[in-house]
Structure 1
Amino acid sequence: MSEKNGPIGVFDSGYGGLTVFKEIVKQLPEYDYLYLGDNARVPYGTRSFETVYKYTWECVQHLFEKGCKLVILACNTASAKALRSIQQNNIPNLPDFRRVLGVIRPTAEIVGELTKTRKVGILATQGTISSESYVLEIGKFFPDIDVVQEACPMWVPLVENNEFNSNGADYFIQKNLNNILEKVSDIDTLILACTHYPLLLGKIKQYLPGNVQVVSQGGLVAASLKDYMVRHPEIERLCSKGGISEFYTTESTESFNEKAAIFLGHQVFSKHLALH
């Protein structure tokens, strides 16, 4: 078994995972990180289970090859469509110690503490909605909670094209929020179940009643990872500590650097990763 320490891998199909990455680094700054965005093959949200699993596993393997022992799928679509297969079918067959975690379970575990009416809304891509992953995961922990869902297909393009502060964004955000609030009258908690959506938070709050809270995943995932490290010292000791972050993209580094700055609030210099 290889015991050499390595960075924590953070994977997303594109840029949205940077909102989770940012919170993880904020809460666990001492570790090294390697972020990989599969920007060449976005979007994942509209692709089949088989394709998302294939793409996600390819990228996870690249992170393993670069020394990561622990990988976070900071992507709801990948967590919904690929995580279980990777954990059950791929990880057990590896020659040495590896772990892959997602973003859905940390959110599902905490939502029961957030809602009083026991009515929760999920805002996500069509792929995440179709997977029913949030409905199933929340049901495991809190079977009394009524979960309603709304696919928001225009929200990711608005963010990725830097249009999230435009008037066009207002139209689509208001439309989707009205849709989900009409489904169940007393929703008091909305989960942003796509890592792009926190950039729309300011506009989302404009169109919600004051009694409805909006939950972003980044802080929840980071807190869950911090707790995971305490509970699993055998994994924690394999994660290198130096406070260094590296960024890789499967597409144009210039484009990645420009858009990553929008998500992180500071400039990054990424490297290109060629897929096999």
Structure 2
Amino acid sequence: MSSTQPIGVFDSGYGGLTVLKSIVRQLPQYDYVYLGDNARTPYGTRSFETVYHYTLECVQHLFGLGCRLVILACNTASAKALRNIQQLDLPTIAPDRRVLGVIRPTTEVIGTYSKTGHVGILATRGTVTSESYPVEIEKFFPELHVYQEACPMWVPLVENGEHNSPGADYFVRKHLDQLLSQSPAIDTVLLACTHYPLLLPKIRQFLPDNLTILSQGEIVANSLQEYLHRHPEIDAQCTKGGTLRFYTTDSADEFAQKAGLFWGEPVRAERLKL
């Protein structure tokens, strides 16, 4: 058992680093552990059962590293696994631990950004198929019109370092056009995958200037800060040494090389064998 009790941040690959970066920027005093399940990525095309099994396994490893609080910084895992983990697993395997996702914090505020009441969601096929965003948004903003577009090529473009290439233009423009064709009134677009912020320059290139584009990092960081304030008993269990550790289920060297693209500087990683 680790002597520290860090906040765990989990993702199927590298994208969650964009969320962790925002969290660390806002809450630098805490200890953090990041785990990327790079050996089994992508999650977006996998079944609910598989994503649930993989996510639970990684969450349990983060618990083993001392984490009392784990953030699923992955929209697909949040959509397909979070509810089962919270309702079925935690009460029996770890009643004193907490697991949070990225969908709820986003849906709690998305309606405040739109003036027309029409919002677009860009996500993986798994997140779109789950209908998690329309269902959750309905709870907070029942009057909002929600339009979704699955972008299956966007994550591979990012993970292969092709997000700034001319070849990315076709796939970015294609899915933006298909989203906007669903309603000319869309004025707010959510990047509902933590990889997509790396495509922001391309996305801005092909979207009208008057559209608001939302990334999840800052939203999740604000939500986490509020959560820790509301739950001082959880906050007290999270150690505050300002440390960062990175783990991957695949090659540590490859992770360190590619993670720098998301993190903004080189990282050192360790391999975690499942």
Deviation at 1:95, TM superposition (A): 5.0
CA distance in 2: counterparts of 1:205 and 1:144, whole angstroms: 27
TM-score scaled to structure 2, two decimals?
A: 0.98
Q: Report the secondary structure of 2:71's partner residue.
A: strand
Partner of 2:32: 33
CA distance in 1: counterparts of 2:35 and 2:215, whole angstroms: 21
- For the pair 1:106 / 2:105, whether they are aligned, the reply is yes
Partner of 1:19: 18
Deviation at 1:5, TM superposition (A): 5.5
Percent identity over paired residues: 65
CA distance in 1: counterparts of 2:233 and 2:146, whole angstroms: 36
Deviation at 1:112, TM superposition (A): 1.2
Partner of 2:41: 42
Structure 1 gaps, min length 5 = none
Deviation at 1:96, TM superposition (A): 4.9
TM-score scaled to structure 1, two decimals?
A: 0.97
CA contact (8 A) 1:5 1:237 kept: no
> Superposition pairs for residues 19-98 of structure 1, below 5 Å?
19-94=18-93, 96-98=95-97
2:35 partner amino acid: L
> Superposition pairs for residues 183-202 of structure 1, below 5 Å?
183-202=182-201
CA distance in 1: counterparts of 2:223 and 2:100, whole angstroms: 10
Partner of 1:211: 210
- For the pair 1:261 / 2:269, whether they are aligned, the reply is no
Deviation at 1:184, TM superposition (A): 0.6
CA distance in 1: counterparts of 2:94 and 2:162, whole angstroms: 45
Following TM superposition, the consecutive aligned residue runs of length 4 or more in structure 1 with deviations greater than 2 angstroms are: none
- For the pair 1:223 / 2:222, whether they are aligned, the reply is yes
Q: Report the secondary structure of 2:185's partner residue.
A: coil
How many aligned positions are there? 273
CA contact (8 A) 1:8 1:69 kept: yes
CA distance in 1: counterparts of 2:255 and 2:4, whole angstroms: 27
Q: Report the secondary structure of 2:108's partner residue.
A: helix
2:57 partner amino acid: E
CA distance in 2: counterparts of 1:223 and 1:98, whole angstroms: 21
Partner of 1:147: 146
Structure 2 gaps, min length 5 = none
RMSD: 1.1
Deviation at 1:35, TM superposition (A): 0.2
Cα shift readout 1:26-77 (whole Å, capped 9, x = no counterpart): 0000000000000000110000000000000000000001100000000000
CA distance in 2: counterparts of 1:94 and 1:151, whole angstroms: 34
CA distance in 2: counterparts of 1:92 and 1:11, whole angstroms: 20
